[in-house]
């Protein structure tokens, strides 16, 4: 079919629309209790419980913008069908709220509609992670009105990998190969007429395998089998590792990304005698880094335990949970329902990749509890957790805290 005419650009962020959007978003996700704690320096004392909030936590600007645009789309296109590519962010409560507003998903585990059945009258929202080039092209071919909420930090990474591709440099992407953002970034690395290439490394162990191949070569077939789901089509390590440039999923742990960069540079230097065939740019999201730094600051004077709140499929929240576990008893929870009793808690085991239960999690007597949350976690969920915690500790009148 021939491509429909480009859709007219619509300004969703008019003052009238945004006034209503802000009211709706605030009613769904705002927390007066959390704001009061922020205003008091992030520390609150309630009976025998001292609560410490990290200086930076919860919704970042990119997430707020994505949610605002989704709500604005529902307001402006009130009489049209609205669809979303995957999840707007990695928080099930937020995604459930959008579903309740009649926004249906086109891809992912909760898929409710098909791209090939879209019409020019339909509206499609691109999430904060972005979307793969092929997916966006299919949507454009249907002639839909597109609302693009892709985070600016993500698009900065895309700019880098496109430049790598144009210069004949293979992108080594530190990230999760099956994460929406990394898939979107990888598809941009295939630019330059499809001649670009990429390889995704998840951790230092995988980076070390790449380093070993850079220095010494190796079993090509075994290497390709190892990374078969994490490299570009027709990737050849003997050809496409000659010039490499590092990029990353913006929500990865900064210290690990920097170590990946250091090891890959050292391997190129060991092979070539210089780093002329190595490139790197700092593409860690500022909000991700702020939340990691704030947690490290809190852990310098550690609380008795940490609660890390957020979606279990949130990469930046997972890293916060792993950082906290290195210093104190820490529990990665989805919401207040995970605090089942003063003895039982359900939490996500980031290594086993499943929710588990633990007993004896909440000590008796005076206690200091640290709380942080990923960039996709709204403040109302943090308030729910705080109130449940205080009830379990027997703090009276928590409804008026």
The overall average pLDDT reported for the chain is 94
Nearest in space to 91 (alpha carbons), one of 122, 125, 114, 66: 66
In the chain, where are the structural domains located? Answer: 31-59+286-400, 61-150, 153-280
**Interval 220-231: pLDDT, tens:** 999 999 999 999
Nearest in space to 89 (alpha carbons), one of 381, 375, 382, 379: 375
Q: Do domains 61-150 and 153-280 have the same CATH topology?
A: no
User: Does residue 232 surpass a pLDDT of 90?
Assistant: yes
Contact between 383 and 34 (Cβ < 8 Å): yes
pLDDT classification of 282: cutoffs 50, 70, 90: confident
pLDDT given for residue 398 in this prediction: 62
pLDDT given for residue 192 in this prediction: 66
pLDDT classification of 113: cutoffs 50, 70, 90: confident
Which residues pair with residue 105 across a beta bridge? 84
Phi and psi (nearest 5°) for 348? -95, 125
Is 19 a residue of the active site? no
Highest CATH level, class, for 31-59+286-400: alpha beta
pLDDT given for residue 151 in this prediction: 94
Question: At 75, which helix (H) or strand (E)?
Answer: helix 61-76
**Interval 334-345: pLDDT, tens:** 999 999 999 999
**Interval 4-17: pLDDT, tens:** 555 667 889 899 99
Q: Please give the Cα distance from 172 to 245 (Å, whole number).
A: 6
Nearest in space to 89 (alpha carbons), one of 131, 127, 133: 127
Contact between 294 and 370 (Cβ < 8 Å): no
- Comparing 273-287, 304-318, 319-333, the range with the smallest average pLDDT is 273-287
The full DSSP string for 227-264 is TTTSB-TT--HHHHTSSEEEEE-TTS-HHHHHHHHHHH
Average pLDDT over residues 18-38: 95
pLDDT given for residue 400 in this prediction: 53
Average pLDDT over residues 360-386: 96
Q: Please give the Cα distance from 83 to 22 (Å, whole number).
A: 21
pLDDT > 90 fraction of the chain, expressed in percent and rounded: 89
pLDDT > 70 fraction of the chain, expressed in percent and rounded: 97
Q: How far is CA 324 from the centre of its chain?
A: 18
- List of long-range contacts for 96-103, beta carbons under 8 Å, 24+ apart: 97/28, 98/70, 101/71, 101/74, 102/74, 103/70, 103/73, 103/74
Question: At 305, which helix (H) or strand (E)?
Answer: strand 305-309
CA angle (146 as vertex; 142, 151 as ends), nearest 5: 135
Average pLDDT over residues 380-401: 87
Q: How far is CA 335 from the centre of its chain?
A: 17
Second CATH level (architecture) for the domain 61-150: 3-Layer(aba) Sandwich (3.40)
Contact between 237 and 209 (Cβ < 8 Å): no
pLDDT given for residue 283 in this prediction: 77
Choice between 49 and 400, residue whose per-residue pLDDT is larger: 49
Average pLDDT over residues 138-161: 95
pLDDT given for residue 355 in this prediction: 98
- For the structural domain made of 153-280, what CATH number should be given? 3.40.1010.20
**Interval 169-197: pLDDT, tens:** 999 999 999 999 999 999 999 976 778 99
CA angle (117 as vertex; 112, 121 as ends), nearest 5: 100
pLDDT given for residue 195 in this prediction: 80
**Per annotation, catalytic residue among 87, 132, 180, 181:** 181
């Amino acid at each position: 079919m021939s491509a429909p005419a480009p859709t007219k650009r619509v300004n969703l962020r008019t003052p009238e629309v945004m006034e209503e959007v802000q009211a709706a978003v605030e009613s769904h996700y705002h927390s007066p209790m959390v704001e009061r704690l922020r205003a008091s320096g992030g520390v609150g004392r309630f009976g025998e419980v001292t609560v410490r909030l990290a200086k930076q936590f919860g919704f970042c600007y990119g997430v707020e913008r994505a949610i605002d645009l989704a709500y604005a789309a529902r307001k402006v296109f009130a009489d049209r069908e609205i669809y979303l590519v995957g999840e707007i962010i990695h928080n099930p409560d937020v995604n459930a709220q959008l579903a309740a507003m009649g926004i249906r998903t086109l891809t992912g585990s909760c898929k409710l509609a098909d791209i090939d059945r879209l019409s020019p009258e339909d509206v499609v929202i691109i999430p904060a992670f972005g979307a793969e080039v092929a997916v966006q092209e299919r949507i454009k071919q249907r002639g839909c009105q597109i609302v693009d909420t892709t985070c600016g930090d993500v698009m900065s990474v895309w700019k880098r990998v496109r430049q790598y591709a144009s210069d004949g440099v293979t992108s080594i992407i530190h990230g999760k190969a099956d994460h929406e953002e990394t898939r979107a970034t990888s598809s941009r690395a295939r630019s330059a007429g499809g001649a670009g290439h990429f390889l995704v490394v998840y951790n230092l162990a995988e980076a070390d395998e790449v380093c070993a191949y850079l220095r010494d070569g190796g079993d090509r077939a075994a290497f390709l089998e190892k990374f078969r789901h994490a490299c570009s089509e027709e990737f050849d390590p003997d050809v496409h590792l000659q010039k490499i440039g590092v990029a990353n999923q913006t929500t990865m742990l900064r210290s690990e990304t920097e170590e990946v960069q250091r090891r890959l540079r050292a391997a190129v230097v060991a092979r070539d005698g210089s780093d002329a065939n190595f490139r790197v740019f700092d593409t860690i999201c500022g909000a991700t880094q702020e939340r990691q730094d704030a947690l490290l600051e809190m852990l310098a004077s550690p609380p008795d335990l940490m609660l890390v709140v957020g979606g279990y499929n949130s990469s930046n929240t997972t890293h916060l949970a792993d950082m906290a576990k290195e210093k104190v008893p820490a529990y990665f929870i989805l919401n207040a329902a995970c605090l089942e009793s003063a003895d039982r808690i359900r939490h996500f085991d980031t290594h086993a990749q499943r929710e588990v239960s633990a007993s004896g999690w909440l000590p008796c007597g005076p206690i200091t509890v640290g709380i942080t949350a990923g960039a996709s976690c709204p403040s109302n969920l943090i308030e729910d957790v705080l109130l449940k915690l205080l009830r379990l500790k027997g703090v009276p009148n928590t409804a008026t805290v």
